[in-house]
A and B are shown apart, each in its own frame.
Chain A
Amino acid sequence: MKRVVVLLIFLSVAFTVFAASVTVVYLDRSETNLEASSYIKKQAKSNKLSHKFTFASKLSALKGDEKVVVLLNTGRSSGTDPRISAYLDTVQDKRAIILVNLYSIGKNILTGSVKSADSAYGVDELSSASQWQDRDAAVQAMHKQWTAELFRLIEVKQTL
């Protein structure tokens, strides 16, 4: 019995230490940012993914050596937050970055993705409508769709 417990503890520690780290950057303590960040983590857990999500509330917290960085672009109905645009203009190697646009467009449904080659900022982009109040089937499906694409991109970037 003791051996099983020790093995379980060892495995838990190993998973925690060696789990692939993903840094999620949110710029404001808004409902969208907090709900989206929590949702990403919950979905990763329910999909049994081993990613270890760490959260940063400002772009200056990024060291530049992160394997995967997810930038949450929120609080807008279109376009990119100027703080994110300014940051992306200064970054040389953008391979680690995934830009997630969560647009406030009422009760509309939106999902989309842009490859880094086609993106104005040279990063992989995902777009979705930001809806966290009403969670009917269509909204749930929308959130599952963009998070599934996010996890696929994370997997790709971790092999780079």
Chain B
Amino acid sequence: MFKKITIYLVVLFLLLPSALFAAEADSTATEKKPLIDMSAFNDYIQGPDGYQLLSTTHDVLGYSAVLLGLTAGLFSPPLLGVDEDIHGLIGAAATTAAVLNIGVGFLNYGNRLSTSEGLFTKDNIHIVMGITGGVLMLVASLTGESDFHPIIAGLGTGLMGASIVFQIF
């Protein structure tokens, strides 16, 4: 069940940014009245208020992903003898936060991934580390039975944490 939720989230966040930010680009299309008028929402989310909201959300999700990832690692059957389901639930929550965070980060800060000021800028490193960490957490969730699960999950959580620390300092 946890795997399915994670997959749905990945699909949602691959589709959502393009749906939200493509509205302006599609100016050549003949004018059709949309079923649901999203223009007010788009204006809000693309404006400074939306930027601030997504910025705070990105922070909260990032910290949550790392804290939940660490908690899942601590509450694992081999370490503290905690029930497998509890470990799975916390792990899925960590992965969900990580995947949501990649989506929110892409929505708000996608334009910061740039080589115009060099390859190894603070933003580029943060983004690559964060995405790699999130993807590894996702892979760890999908390979729960594998022997590599703890290594991949630990690496993913570590990279996401390092990404946050790197951005702060």
Contacts and interface: CB of A to CB of B under 8 A. Distances in A.
Interface residues of A, number: 13
Interface majority SS on B: helix, strand, loop or mixed? Answer: helix
A152 interface: no
Nearest to B53: A38
A114 to B, nearest CB: 25
A55 B49 contact: yes
A42 B48 CA distance: 11
Contacts, number: 28
B48 A26 contact: yes
Contacts of B111: 31
A133 interface: yes
Interface of A: 24, 26, 29, 31, 33-34, 37-38, 41-42, 55, 57, 133
Given A34-B51, A37-B51, 14 more contacts: A26-B48, A31-B112, A33-B48, A37-B48, A38-B51, A38-B52, A38-B55, A41-B49, A42-B52, A55-B47, A55-B48, A55-B49, A57-B47, A133-B123
15 contacts: A24-B48, A26-B48, A37-B48, A38-B51, A38-B52, A38-B55, A41-B48, A41-B49, A41-B52, A42-B52, A55-B47, A55-B49, A57-B46, A133-B122, A133-B123
